[in-house]
Amino acid sequence: MVFRSRAGAKAPALFFALAFVLSACTTVSILQSRPERADTLAVKNNWRLSAYHTPHFKIIAYRPASFERMAASKAPTDTLNVYLEGDGLAWITETRLSRDPTPSEPITLELAVQDPNPRSIYFARPCQYLTPNDLAQCSPAYWSSHRYSEEVVASMSDAVEQAKRESGARRVRLFGYSGGGALAVLIAARRTDVIGVTTLAANLDHQFWTQQGGMTPLYGSLNPAHVANEISHIPQIHFIGEDDETVPNSVAYAYMSDIKDTSRIRIVKLPDMDHTCCWVEPWKNLLRNYVNR
């Protein structure tokens, strides 16, 4: 039996036509380079590529096309929402370091473009999304042992300050996915304008993480857990995926273990979520129900 649509077209023909189109779209996505995927996502949402220069690094950013006009506008908020990228493609295998730490999928950028705050910005990590010439100047230590080093944290905070001035914001709210969550905590500890920290699947205590996983310690990195008490006055929400095996739930609880006053800090465990799946789809609801209340 051959089913027909209302227009009289044969259903199998329509099915194969749709399958061809979907296959073509998937092929285009697969064939795109990692920077091209981010560019495509940004353009689709009317965001633009930018770059911030600090004493140590060139830091790639994406922000709304209207970002620079915010300084002169009367936008409904004076808070800059900053999204910090994770560690990216740091390792090819357990023992082989990547030559380029640019993320395979732009998960953090996908979160950022959903934020309704017009003063929102996405920051890649040092050494991510760079041209081959710029990447050649970047030491692999900055996506391995020194990924949360003093120079990385200082440079990211410098970039945040530049963006804050450009946007006309007075306050900052930090969001970080995976290793970006570690940086969010470390950056918050050295600033006086941070009104909130939100992390997703974050490595909040890398010493505990490496010990539990039998991994090489991140000897060149600052540890977020060491400043946990220092920023306990800042409202924090730490989302963790119940099925996350990359950064187990115990890491977030280790971060909390030595904090004297946890009244402003929440850990929210989400079912059916692991380290990469499925943070993007529910993000608008998570923002509305937990952050923008």
Q: Is the pLDDT confidence value at 221 over 80?
A: yes
User: Are 95 and 216 a contacting pair, CB within 8 Å?
Assistant: no
Q: Check residue 30 and give its pLDDT.
A: 63
H runs (alpha helix) in the chain: 11-31, 34-44, 107-112, 132-135, 150-167, 179-188, 206-213, 249-256, 283-286
Task: Please enumerate, as own/partner, the contacts of 280-286 that have beta carbons within 8 Å and a separation of 24 or more.
Answer: 280/107, 280/110, 280/111, 280/114, 283/110, 283/111, 283/114, 284/114, 286/239
Architecture of domain 34-291: 3-Layer(aba) Sandwich (3.40)
Residues paired with residue 253 on neighbouring β-strands, in sequence order = none
Average pLDDT over residues 254-261: 95
Mean pLDDT (the chain, rounded): 90
Structure confidence by residue, pLDDT tens digits, 23-67: 434 434 567 899 999 999 999 999 999 999 999 999 999 999 988
**pTM, two decimal places:** 0.89
For residue 278, whether the previous peptide bond is cis, meaning omega lies within 30 degrees of 0, is: yes
Q: Is the pLDDT confidence value at 81 over 70?
A: yes
In degrees, to the nearest 5, what angle opens at C-alpha 71 toward C-alphas 67 and 76? 85
Q: Check residue 70 and give its pLDDT.
A: 77
Domain ranges of the chain: 34-291
Q: Is the pLDDT confidence value at 7 over 90?
A: no
Average pLDDT over residues 116-131: 96
> Which has the closest alpha carbon to 98: 135, 50, 53?
135
Q: Check residue 67 and give its pLDDT.
A: 86
Structure confidence by residue, pLDDT tens digits, 154-200: 999 999 999 999 999 999 999 999 999 999 999 999 999 999 999 99
Q: Check residue 9 and give its pLDDT.
A: 44
Q: Is the pLDDT confidence value at 278 over 50?
A: yes
Q: How confident is the model at residue 285 (pLDDT cuts 50, 70, 90)?
A: very high
| CA atoms within a 13 Å half-sphere pointing along the CA-CB vector of 148 | 30
User: Are 111 and 283 a contacting pair, CB within 8 Å?
Assistant: yes
> Which has the closest alpha carbon to 177: 208, 154, 200?
200
